[in-house]
Amino acid sequence: MNNGKLSIKEIARLANTSVATVSRVINGNGRFSKETEQRVREVIDRYNYQPNMLAKSLREDRMKAIGVIVSDITSDYFAGIVQEIESELFRHGYTAVICDTFENEEAEKRFMEMLGNLRFSGIIFVGGKRSKTLMSDLPIIYVDRKPPPASMEKGSCFIGSDNYRGGCLAGERLMAAGRHNPAIVLFEDELETQRQRLRGFRKALADHGRPLDPRCIFHVEHVTYEGGRQVTERILRSGLHCDSVFYTSDILAIGGAQYLNEAHVAVPEGIALMGMDDIPLSRRITPPLTTVRQQYRRFGALAADSIIRMLKGETVEDLILDVELIERATV
């Protein structure tokens, strides 16, 4: 008898029980006594039994795996979410298969088609683009970026932050610091997260009698450290004399802070900086970054839990998590 090649029928014989009972013990469902479970587990451990997951997935018409389509796995923010998803899915006996799109919409579409053809159990989008999903029969969770209503499949759900409040908190903090000419740095206008942060920021400034100058709205092509450096250089060279900047991502603010240091512009005396996310690096730079904290790691655990519940036939709803102002030293 080969270790690891034991059949369920042989396990049943050695444990003195039925094949059906062994199957229930292995899958953790159905009724069986503690004594029976102990006998089955002892045989499994003795012979190092490993179930044939491929054969099981073919019988059940689905692989016990969840596709996680992420916009940029090199991002500390997205990587933190994915790590929590993977950990929580593993706890439930599911494998997470990570698909990095590099913010490419065509790559996202191809991954969706591939995951559907491979009979995955579901998909979690982490910071997805705007593609309409092609497999409406799969459970789908959207994390961080909510697609347009027309692209939301029946039964799918969204998990993210109160981005409008995030923009308000940033704007209110800069106004309280006496900054009269703030700039804002955005990624893509069509993303709902960015629109809501801009809307909240505008509202906070307007409430203080300081309408946002449209010329002080800047954009980046990529949410990266280098993108933050480049956009900060454009702000300084614009001649708009901005006295503060709200970067809608911490990594952009960190790149901006480094550029200002090299340009010998004091922070916050010369220009105040605000970020959003509260990634670990934001508290390690000098000076530490004032930011709006998102509960982004919690997104991952909630996304995994929600998709498991969907697979059990339960109804899940959108979850919008609160944000929090984190006072440090750049304002």
Kindly indicate the confidence band of residue 236, based on its pLDDT and cuts at 50, 70 and 90: very high
What is the rounded average pLDDT of the residues 77-105? 94
Q: For residue 225, report the phi and psi dihedrals to the nearest 5 degrees.
A: -55, -45
**Angle between helix 163-176 and helix 192-207 axes, rounded to 10 deg:** 30
Token pair in block for residue 246 = 């709200």
Residue 198: count of CB within 10 angstroms of its CB: 21
Distance between alpha carbon 315 and the CA centroid of its chain, in Å?
A: 21
**Mean pLDDT over all residues of the chain?**
89
Give the per-residue pLDDT at 266.
98
99-146: per-residue pLDDT in tens?
A: 999 888 888 888 888 887 778 899 999 997 655 555 557 899 999 998
Of the two residues 62 and 140, the one the predictor is more confident about is 140
pTM above 0.75, yes or no: yes
Give the per-residue pLDDT at 129.
64
Domains and CATH numbers, the chain: 8-51 (1.10.260.40), 63-160+296-322 (3.40.50.2300), 163-293 (3.40.50.2300)
Residue whose pair of structure tokens reads 């590099």 in the numeric block = 102
Give the per-residue pLDDT at 28.
65
Beta-sheet strand order (sheet of 95-100)? 95-100, 63-70, 120-126, 140-143, 157-161, 319-321
Kindly indicate the confidence band of residue 54, based on its pLDDT and cuts at 50, 70 and 90: very low
pLDDT reading at 45 higher than 90: no
Q: Give the span between the Cα atoms of 324 and 292, in whole angstroms.
A: 5
Give the per-residue pLDDT at 58.
45
Token pair in block for residue 205 = 């400034």
Contacts of 41-45 spanning 24+ positions with Cβ under 8 A: 42/15, 43/6, 43/11, 43/14, 43/15, 44/6, 44/11
255-305: per-residue pLDDT in tens?
A: 999 999 999 999 999 999 999 999 999 999 999 999 999 999 999 999 999
Give the per-residue pLDDT at 163.
98
- Classify 241 in phi/psi space as left (phi over 0), alpha (psi -120 to 50) or beta: left
Residue whose pair of structure tokens reads 């750049």 in the numeric block = 330
Q: For residue 188, report the phi and psi dihedrals to the nearest 5 degrees.
A: -125, 130
